[in-house]
Amino acid sequence: MNLPAAGYPRLLALGDAAFTVEFGDGIAPETHARVLGFAAALDTLAADGRLPGLVERVPTFRSVTVHFDPDRADSGVLGETLLALAGEGRRAAASGRLWTLPVCFDDDLAPDLADVAARAGLTREAVIALLTATEFSVYMLGFLPGFPYLGGLPAALEMPRLATPRSRVPAGSVAIAGRMCAVYPWHSPGGWRLVGRTGARLFDVTQAARPALLAPGDRVRWQAVGREALGE
């Protein structure tokens, strides 16, 4: 039986209109399964009208922040409810949508790919093979609107961030750092290693119901394509 980490779950108050429920202190599949299970349970209770005042829940690697309307919810009762629900230890696998997204690995679109291969003691082709053979899990969105943190990067490709971040990373850049993979939805500074580029639009403000393409619990596979498939 997989038990919660010692001292978890725990409830933290964020001002007078939010709580964070923590399930652990590190990034791990078991912890994230508890995050997803708790978030799903919140959705069920909210749909049944049993969480009055709930505004939004925001899952992360190891916690869920619950925003509520203090004029409609009793914070004391809500806090007790959240902690009791977290204590049930519900778990959920990453069961969201499976996305197959195009990535071009041409040298000018993947400026760190050769260095990653050299550091890993692999050929460039072997690195691409590892990336395209992996099914990544969307752990959370953050840093930029629609920026997905993807767990599951093969251990052979574990890399530190760049010593000096770039001042401008092109939108659509697929990047790795530590044991994570990610995509930059916008032009921005960044210190992750760039190994490809996708033409997938990860955030669209005109899609009010779901502006971010990916969501926690989704899964992502990369499909190698030529640059013409990106419209370049």
pLDDT band, very low/low/confident/very high, at 209 (cuts 50, 70, 90): confident
Residue 229 — pLDDT band, cuts 50, 70, 90? Answer: confident
Confidence of residue 89 (pLDDT cuts 50, 70, 90): confident
Q: What are phi and psi of 160, to 5 degrees?
A: -75, 165
Map out the domains of the chain with their CATH numbers: 10-87 (3.30.1360.40), 98-230 (2.40.100.10)
pLDDT tens, 20-76? 999 998 888 889 899 999 999 999 999 999 999 999 999 998 999 999 999 999 999
User: Model confidence at 231, in pLDDT bands (50, 70, 90)?
Assistant: confident
pLDDT of residue 1: 37
Task: Determine the angle formed by the axes of helices 29-47 and 75-87, rounding to 10 degrees.
Answer: 130
pLDDT of residue 208: 78
Q: Which of 140, 137, 180 is nearest to 23 (CA)?
A: 140
Q: What is the pLDDT of residue 207?
A: 87
pLDDT of residue 188: 96
Contacts for 93-96 with beta carbons within 8 Å, 24 or more apart? 93/33, 93/36, 94/32, 94/36, 94/137, 94/138, 94/217, 94/218, 94/219, 95/36, 95/217, 96/138, 96/215, 96/216, 96/217, 96/218, 96/219
Which tokens is 219 given?
């899964």
- Can you say whether residue 25 is alpha, beta or left, with left for phi > 0 and alpha for psi between -120 and 50 degrees? alpha
Q: Residue 27: what pLDDT?
A: 86
pLDDT digits (tens, 9 = 90+) for 100-144: 999 999 999 999 999 999 999 999 999 999 999 999 999 999 999
Phi, psi angles (nearest 5°) of residue 4: -60, 155
Between 2-6, 7-11, 207-211, the lowest mean confidence (pLDDT) is in 2-6
* Poorest-pLDDT segment among 175-179, 197-201, 226-230: 226-230
Report pLDDT digits (tens) over 150-164. Answer: 999 999 999 999 999
Local confidence band at 166 (pLDDT 50, 70, 90 cut-offs): very high
* pLDDT score at 93: 67
pLDDT of residue 95: 66
Q: How far is CA 12 from the centre of its chain?
A: 22
Give the pTM.
Answer: 0.83
pLDDT confidence of residue 90: 87
